[in-house]
Copies of this chain bind each other. A is one copy, B any other.
Amino acid sequence: MEAVRTMLADKSADAIIIPSNDCHFGEYVPDYFKVRGWLSGFDGSAGTLVVTTEKAALWTDSRYFIQAARQLEGSGIELMKLKVAGTPSVAGWLHSLNVSKVIVDGDLFSRQEFLSLTRALAPAALEAVDDPFREIWKDRPALVCRTIVEMPENISGRSIADKCGAVAGKLGCKGRFAYIISACDEIMWLCNIRGEDIEYNPVALSYCVMTEECVHLFCHLDCLAPQARASLESQKVKLHEYASFRDFLRGIDASVTRICQSSSINVNNWSAAFANVPAGEEESHFMEDPTPGGSVAWLRSRKNPVELAGFRNAFINDGIAWVKLLKFIDENLASGKLNEYLIARKLIEFRSECPDYLGESFEPIVAWNANAASAHYSVTCEADAATVKPYGFLLMDTGAHYPYGTTDTTRTLMLSDRNDFTGRSDRLLQQMRDDYTLVLKGMIDLAMAIFPSGTRGSQLDILARGPMYPTGKMYYHGTSHGIGHHLCVHEAPQIRMEESPLVIDEGMVLSDEPAVYIEGQYGIRTENVITVVPFAENSYGRFLKFDTMTLVPIDMRPVNFKLLTHKEEQWLYRYNEHVYNTLKPYLSKQEAAWLWRRTTV
């Protein structure tokens, strides 16, 4: 902290604001960028640290209040609880300290964030500087860069040139342009490559500039697998070293129109891109990406038939592993030896039996009873894991990467359908069954939805949430997220309460995951992955519906069928029948027999 204050003095600054993200604004942050965690000791995924010449404070949200209080103890850093009455904003706090100059690492703030922070801090000045921790952070972890491989066209379904043509069409720019892309997953999609630089996300640290003539890819060239290099070169992608990106930006000719999303370019790169433009004329050489959420994200979210076929394959692989796991749990539950960690490992073991399995698509969640009431609970070692006893609910939310698709499935098991287990009254047991049924009802209602083209996620959300509302319960996360094609498991668009202009369109692959969490008792979430397919086209326009991709049986034993309509009940029976028929050819006789029993009542 002393070194930070010396640095502040060197730069004649009164304060520095340190966010949680990296320079690409991805979901997971490489250790190299975890400055906030290193400086404060607080290692939660979300938090903003502000250090002034005399004070320091850290803002985080309710998920982390307890952890942050513990980790900040004795550090002299004040904990600022977001969305709690009386907590000042970062700008408000800095105003109260009468600061006159604030700095940030311009790599870690988007152009958009930087502008809004500038307004909030005025009259204090905000300045973006080059990474101010390069000198200070002595034992900083290295930037990891691993092999970059090609995603061949028989898996991606579309050539780079074809994708670039589609992007250019969305941008609608005439004349010379430079479309600057900073999001690594967008670059992987555009260039038909995959990396492994970020945990769970098969992306390489990279930048990209698409012009009217060609694509410039900036990555660690040493990491390019020979085949990937050959393929990129044969498709006329110009390869550059990752570190040369900013110099390239500085060299862009004044006459070129710079296009990007202000929300995804970091402010240092933004400045570099306008190096050749006279000061004050930036706006007339700039065009905001005209597609809400970004043109590449828009195109990527509508999967092509080859990608969709890959997803279907991935869900068969995953279904087989899940059936083995569910059978394993069934047969070993009484032993008293199952715990949350072991179950997560066991699923990875079963998945690994498929030679195509590449790894988990996110940190597996296996949570028993009260542990499942925290939506993002996960155990990383056996010592922390709860033993799974034969009562209550076991929630499992896990996903995998295959070369041709990514999966994400949640199942909640009611571990006993007897009503005599410890501490559970008949009334509570009935509530558990009803909650299980209403979550399932919401999942089914969204899956059965038929809707006109142009419908947005926020319009569909209530189909999944609505069934639970009459019990006076709700969940605080989204209902659905887009899923990458062997890419990030979370991508646009979303189905949630918050409004977004993105529409739910043909070819999209989305989760469907309503839930309920009863603090201190249990959590229930049932998640399938659905894809958008045509339903009808007539004088009223085009209608769409969902088709379910996930192939994991849904436990019908806890269902209170009185709460389901005839159509919902029919959907459930047919779904389980479909799971059985599709997976049977890949299962042993014993596994198939087990699945038959589980999918019929």
Residues on A lying within 8 angstroms of B by beta carbon are 449-452, 454-456, 458-463, 466, 469-470, 472-474, 497, 499, 519, 535-536, 538-541, 543, 565-566
Contacts and interface: CB of A to CB of B under 8 A. Distances in A.
8 contacts: A450-B469, A452-B469, A456-B458, A459-B459, A469-B543, A472-B538, A472-B543, A565-B565
Nearest to A462: B459
A455 B469 CA distance: 12
Contacts of A540: 472-474
Contacts of A499: 456, 458, 499
Given A459-B497, A565-B566, 20 more contacts: A449-B469, A450-B466, A450-B469, A451-B469, A452-B474, A455-B497, A456-B499, A458-B458, A458-B459, A458-B499, A459-B459, A459-B462, A469-B543, A472-B535, A472-B540, A472-B543, A474-B540, A474-B541, A499-B499, A519-B539
A164 B499 CA distance: 32
Nearest to A469: B450
A292 to B, nearest CB: 12
A470 B452 contact: no
Contacts of A460: 462
Contacts of A474: 452, 540-541
How many copies of the polypeptide does the oligomer hold?
A: 2
Contacts of A455: 462, 497
A466 B452 contact: no
B565 A472 contact: no
Contacts of A451: 462, 466, 469
Contact of A466 (B463, B538, B539, B565): B463
A526 to B, nearest CB: 19
List 4 A-B pairs, minimum CB-CB distance, nearest first.
Answer: A472-B536, A450-B469, A565-B565, A499-B499
Nearest to A461: B459
A166 to B, nearest CB: 22
Nearest to A463: B462
A209 to B, nearest CB: 31
B466 A449 contact: yes
Nearest to A544: B469
Nearest to A517: B540
A449 to B, nearest CB: 7
Nearest to A460: B462
